[in-house]
Amino acid sequence: FLNEKQAIVDCEDKYLTQLKLVEGGVPVPDSALVPTEEMIDLAFEKVGGKFPVVVKTLSGTQGKGVFIINEYKALKSTLQAIWAAADEVEMMFQKYIKADHDVRLHVLGEKVIASMKREVVDNDFRSNVHLGGKTGKYKPTKEIQELAVKAAKAVNCKWAGVDIMFDTKGNPFV
């Protein structure tokens, strides 16, 4: 394997990945862990206190376990339902960044070896290809390549797929 076991384990936990990216100086959306129902309000305020808010399970790939909530009642009842079904499910909130696409860069060592643009799926906010997202060519700038390499290093991966989205001002977030 190219990546060490600990890097793989760390990257399977979205919140731990966020922490490592922050420690590495990588720009990420404001995020907060939501371990219990009592922490919903505090976590919501930590990510800006505005709707919509992104809610994620800490594990999951291909866009599974990621959804957007647009109002407080739905936020609370959705989390209550998830925890009622499986109280061990860990959740996090992220500040919502409106975007019509993201980019994925594949990093090997200290070099970007491939990149693509992924369009958001119709009637969805996710850009995952298996959900119907369309891919296209993307030529990353030197700065975006450096950001992808920095992100891969922050999570101790020799080979990584780094997803980057841009806010309305063009600021990148991993």
Q: pLDDT tens digit string along 14-65?
A: 899 999 999 999 999 999 999 999 999 999 999 999 999 999 988 765 556 7
Question: Which stretch of DSSP H or E encloses residue 156?
Answer: none
Arithmetic mean of pLDDT, 58-86 = 84
Is the per-residue pLDDT at 124 higher than 70? Answer: no
Backbone CA torsion sign across 123, 129, 135, 138:
positive
Structure tokens given for 54: 């992104």
Question: Percent of the chain beyond pLDDT 90?
Answer: 67
pLDDT of residue 101: 86
42 versus 134: which is more confidently predicted?
A: 42
Structure tokens given for 18: 């966020």
Question: Percent of the chain beyond pLDDT 70?
Answer: 88
111 versus 62: which is more confidently predicted?
A: 111
Confidence of residue 98 (pLDDT cuts 50, 70, 90): confident
Residue with tokens 């780094």: 162
Cα 79 from Cα 87, distance rounded (Å): 10
Of 120, 106, 118, 95, the closest CA to residue 44 belongs to: 95
pLDDT of residue 125: 54
In sequence order, what E strands does the chain have? 31-34, 53-57, 66-69, 91-95, 101-108, 111-119, 135-136, 159-166, 172-173
Confidence of residue 141 (pLDDT cuts 50, 70, 90): very high
Chain mean pLDDT for the chain: 88
Q: How far apart are the first and last CA of the chain?
A: 24
pLDDT of residue 126: 46
120 versus 98: which is more confidently predicted?
A: 98
Confidence of residue 86 (pLDDT cuts 50, 70, 90): confident
Residue with tokens 């109002």: 71
